[in-house]
Amino acid sequence: MNLTLKIWRQKNAKEKGQMVDYKIGGIEPDMSFLEMLDVLNNELVEKGDDPVAFDHDCREGICGMCSLFINGEAHGPDRGITTCQLHMRKFKDGDTIYIEPFRAKAFPVIKDLVVDRSSFDRIQHAGGFISVNTSGNTQDANNIPIKKHDADRAFDAATCIGCGACVASCKNSSAMLFVSAKVSQFALLPQGRVEATERVLNMVEAMDQEGFGNCTNTGACEVECPKGISLENIARMNREYLAASVK
């Protein structure tokens, strides 16, 4: 396949960026999107040009690092996958592909396609954990029976990989889907109830401080989420927050 790539290039957080055109050839349909960018970067390096900076780590849909906005969609045109799982067979010979970083005030660009998502880390630090005494007093997990329905819902919420596609897809740059997944994975389990009140209050406060927008129930986040995190988590977090606020 021969392609035209229009890629956001930005030297650093302070300088203005711009879209730059690249022609690329010899791309196989079975290559992943990131492998296609590797081919481009090899060519740029051979010419002595600066390679395109982009985030990646596991390249198998687990780590949540590969945060690209492709042809106007977070993680590109496929559903239920991350950018590293996107294959070039989704595109046609001769296509023009627009590649941009995830855009949000709370995700400032570091370089080219790499954004700073440490705001997510700070929200996690505010309450995305349970405090457990691990000094030999832990009980067997099977001592606490949990309804299958609740266990499944908690597990579904726990599959959020913190990629930020929900924020990038939202017209308000809201982080509600991410935060609600992190609240729900504990709220549904007895182990998570102990600190449930402080957790939801602290995580929502941290989310607001980071400059994420409000949720207006558009649902774009759910559509673009590679892990199928459901909007029902946002409804659950709102209930948790209301109950915690009146305590």
Contact residues: ligand FES, CB under 6 A: 56-59, 61-66, 82-84
Candidate ranges 94-102, 121-129, 156-164, 196-204; the one touching ligand SF4 (CB under 6 A): 156-164
Is residue 176 at the binding interface for ligand SF4, with CB under 6 A as the rule? Answer: no
Tell me if 153 sits within 8 A of 235, measured CB to CB.
Answer: no
3 state SS for 78-90 = CCCCCHHHCEHHH
Dig out the tokens for 40 from the structure: 């481009």
Residue 84 CB, shortest distance to ligand FES, in Å, is: 3
Q: Name the residue among 223, 196, 240, 199 with its Cα closest to residue 79.
A: 223
Is residue 166 at the binding interface for ligand SF4, with CB under 6 A as the rule? Answer: yes
Is residue 107 at the binding interface for ligand SF4, with CB under 6 A as the rule? Answer: no
Per DSSP, the chain holds a count of helices (H) and strands (E) of 9, 7
> 177 or 237, CB closer to ligand SF4?
177
> 20 or 58, CB closer to ligand FES?
58
Dig out the tokens for 113 from the structure: 């396609």
Give the integer Cα–Cα distance in Å for 194 and 186.
Answer: 10
What is the per-residue binding string for ligand SF4 in 62-101, x denoting contact by CB under 6 A? ----------------------------------------
What is the per-residue binding string for ligand SF4 in 209-238, x denoting contact by CB under 6 A? ----------------xxx-x---------
Residue 179 CB, shortest distance to ligand SF4, in Å, is: 9
How many Cβ atoms sit within 10 Å of the Cβ of residue 177? 27
Give the integer Cα–Cα distance in Å for 3 and 89.
Answer: 12
Q: Name the residue among 9, 90, 91, 18 with its Cα closest to residue 54.
A: 9
Candidate ranges 10-18, 85-93, 164-172, 185-193; the one touching ligand SF4 (CB under 6 A): 164-172
Dig out the tokens for 120 from the structure: 């997510």
Candidate ranges 133-141, 144-152, 158-166, 234-242; the one touching ligand SF4 (CB under 6 A): 158-166
Residue 60 CB, shortest distance to ligand FES, in Å, is: 6
Dig out the tokens for 8 from the structure: 């956001």
Q: Name the residue among 123, 133, 70 with its Cα closest to residue 100.
A: 70
Residue 222 CB, shortest distance to ligand SF4, in Å, is: 8
Residue 178 CB, shortest distance to ligand SF4, in Å, is: 4
Q: Mapping DSSP to helix (H, G, I), strand (E, B) and coil, where does residue 239 land?
A: helix
Is residue 165 at the binding interface for ligand SF4, with CB under 6 A as the rule? Answer: yes
